[in-house]
Amino acid sequence: MTDEELAPRAGPLAAAHRWIAVLVLGFASGLPLALTGLAMQAWLTMDGLDLAAIGFLTLIGIPYTFKFLWAPLMDRVDLPLLGRRRGWVVFTQALLAVALFGLADVSPVLALPLFAALGVVVAFVSASQDIVVDAYRVDLLPARERGVGASLFVMGYRLAMILSGGVALIWTDAVDGIGMTWPEVYRLMAGIMAGLAVFSAFALPRLAQPPARVRDASRAPVRQDLVGFLAVLVAVAAGVVFTQRLGGPIAGWLLSPWFGDAVARGSLQAKWVDLLALLLGLAATLPLAGFAARKARFQTLLAGLDSYFSQPRAWAFLAFIVFYKLTDAFQLSLLTPFLLKGMAFGPAEVGVVNKLIGLLLTVFGALLGGLVMLRLRLVWSLFVFGLLQMSSSLAFWWLAVHGKGQMGGWLIPAFDFGFVKLLHPTLVDGGLLMAVASENLASGMGTAAFLAFLMSLTNQRFSATQFALLSAFQSVGRVWIGPLAGVLAEAIGWPAFFLVAIAMGVPALLMLWKLWRPIDVLDVRPQAS
């Protein structure tokens, strides 16, 4: 079946309608990501939490790495009234608004467990929104509009991250901004999500129902899939209990030859024990969840995964997906605490440079990478841009070693754009600008090549489950590297931390060397129409 059978055939106005919808949905997907990532790091840092605690709280993003487990349910079941896909879009956006309002009323200092739990809820609903938005975009756009649609989606995504990650930092600066509190910022973002839900309910194009032969392709009743999903949840809950009850004692016993039997609570040694306990819990939970899925015959999930893993080099491609952006994920997991706490830059300075200028440079880097890729083959682009991603960490290493004030500065005049204002002229450190510019340009170029690689893998008609699987593996490094990054930053200091970040990129380049010919073949494979 072709895309045109599902997408509406109409003139320029209908195409513009689709493009606006994709742009807005990109914005809706990007907004909550920073609110559980960079913006939350800034909130926690400004409230005085230590680096290891902030590192462990990056696990709030766990749902992004497991979203393929419930993607089959959202693919199989359409909510009533709003039609295919749109019901789930509106439902998840409304839930995000409620969850963000709830998160704003909880203090991370006074009620950290509750704050973390609500953060996981926000990430879960956000990951669910991503599932249905990805599927909606695939169903909505004809093949000839996929390129334009992808660009508009990324643009909306980045604009949202500029708002929730960059503009929000300027808002919270008491001296150069307007002195908003982080709870006030999160309430405002909740209101924006509520407005997006209203837009989605009334302005998104309605999708055509797929033909009967597509609907009947399901391999199991919906009830059976629900039972399978519940079985997987029970298995995950059992893994969590194992981690909490037995993971710590086992990890302490394993590390006792190095640390001794008595480990002080809250010490750096205790944080290494916590990290090992987490890894042991994962090692027990993932096989248990797979066993539960097969025993409960979660067939839609199993069929989608089996279909992908039956392809040649499926595991190798997934490993490469995890490792390619690992340098970025490692240094970005604690970049905001490094700039605010380690380097003592002001929130407005970080907001302007790292969030506004930095994200705009990422967009420019992605466009530049796309232009370069018109002349450079995919596999060479992955290699060259991967080297640039690794080398860009040297700029932050230099900043950590030499400190601020070594490269002069650049005075940004006060401005008032209505939605964001800078009350006083702000001197931007030259070293900060150099580091942020190099990292974001390299990251943008690497992202362009990486997304081209993912698109080449999904040229075949992957189900929503398989798309969710690939994007979930893409986020593994971003989520799971945080605890290790937090513990290492405290243990070895910032200069060595960024040298480790550089080393994190080496495995991907080694894998790329082994996968050179298979990836090069993907570059010349005919596109499906």
Residue 179: inside a domain = yes
Q: In whole angstroms, what is the distance from residue 300 CA to residue 75 CA?
A: 10
Q: Taking phi first (over 0 means left), then psi (-120 to 50 degrees means alpha), and beta for anything else, what does residue 260 get? A: left
Q: Classify 41 as helix, strand or coil.
A: helix
Pairing of strands 409-412, 426-429: antiparallel
How far apart, in Å, are the Cα atoms of 464 and each of 247, 468, 484? 34, 6, 31
The answer to whether the beta carbons of residues 102 and 62 sit under 8 Å apart is: no
Do 393 and 450 lie in one domain? The reply is yes
The 10 Å Cβ neighbour count of residue 473 is: 18
Is 524 buried (19+), middle (13-18) or exposed (0-12) by CB count in 10 A? exposed
The pLDDT, as a whole number, for residue 215 is 46
Residue 3: inside a domain = no
Residue 8: inside a domain = no
Do 79 and 161 lie in one domain? The reply is yes
Do 40 and 76 lie in one domain? The reply is yes
Q: 3-class secondary structure for 202-242?
A: HHCCCCCCCCHHHHCCCCCCHHHHHHHHHHHHHHHHHHHHH
Last residue in a domain, options 282, 297, 312: 297
pTM above 0.85, yes or no: no
Residue 130: inside a domain = yes
The pLDDT, as a whole number, for residue 459 is 44
Q: In whole angstroms, what is the distance from residue 411 CA to residue 428 CA?
A: 6
Do 181 and 32 lie in one domain? The reply is yes
The pLDDT, as a whole number, for residue 188 is 93
Do 350 and 469 lie in one domain? The reply is yes
Do 186 and 305 lie in one domain? The reply is yes
Last residue in a domain, options 272, 297, 322: 297
Q: In whole angstroms, what is the distance from residue 203 CA to residue 82 CA?
A: 11
Q: Classify 78 as helix, strand or coil.
A: coil
Do 66 and 146 lie in one domain? The reply is yes
CA angle (86, 366, 503) in 5-degree steps: 110
Do 315 and 418 lie in one domain? The reply is yes
> For the CA atoms of the chain, what is the radius of gyration?
23
Q: Alpha helices, DSSP H only, in 36-166? A: 38-46, 51-57, 62-65, 71-76, 86-104, 112-140, 146-161
The 10 Å Cβ neighbour count of residue 529 is: 9
Last residue in a domain, options 262, 297, 332: 297
Pairing of strands 421-422, 409-412: unpaired
Q: In whole angstroms, what is the distance from residue 499 CA to residue 496 CA?
A: 5
The pLDDT, as a whole number, for residue 198 is 94
Do 290 and 419 lie in one domain? The reply is no
Q: In whole angstroms, what is the distance from residue 75 CA to residue 81 CA?
A: 17
pLDDT, block means (10 residues), the chain with 529 residues = 44 81 89 82 80 71 77 74 81 94 87 86 91 80 64 76 76 70 90 94 78 47 77 81 78 76 60 72 78 79 72 82 81 79 77 69 70 78 88 88 80 65 72 83 77 63 59 65 72 87 88 88 53
**Domain boundaries, position 392:** 15-206+213-220+298-524
Q: In whole angstroms, what is the distance from residue 458 CA to residue 311 CA?
A: 12
Residue 144: inside a domain = yes
Q: 3-class secondary structure for 306-356?
A: HHHHCCCCHHHHHHHHHHHCHHHHHHHCCHHHHHHHHCCCCHHHHHHHHHH
Distinct helix (H) and strand (E) counts, the chain: 27, 4
Residue 287: inside a domain = yes
The pLDDT, as a whole number, for residue 529 is 38
**Where residue 480 sits, what CATH number does that domain have?**
1.20.1250.20
Do 288 and 308 lie in one domain? The reply is no
Total domains, the chain: 2
The pLDDT, as a whole number, for residue 381 is 85
Residue 254: inside a domain = yes
Do 183 and 328 lie in one domain? The reply is yes
The answer to whether the beta carbons of residues 290 and 296 sit under 8 Å apart is: no
Q: In whole angstroms, what is the distance from residue 138 CA to residue 151 CA?
A: 14
Do 289 and 337 lie in one domain? The reply is no
Residue 4: inside a domain = no
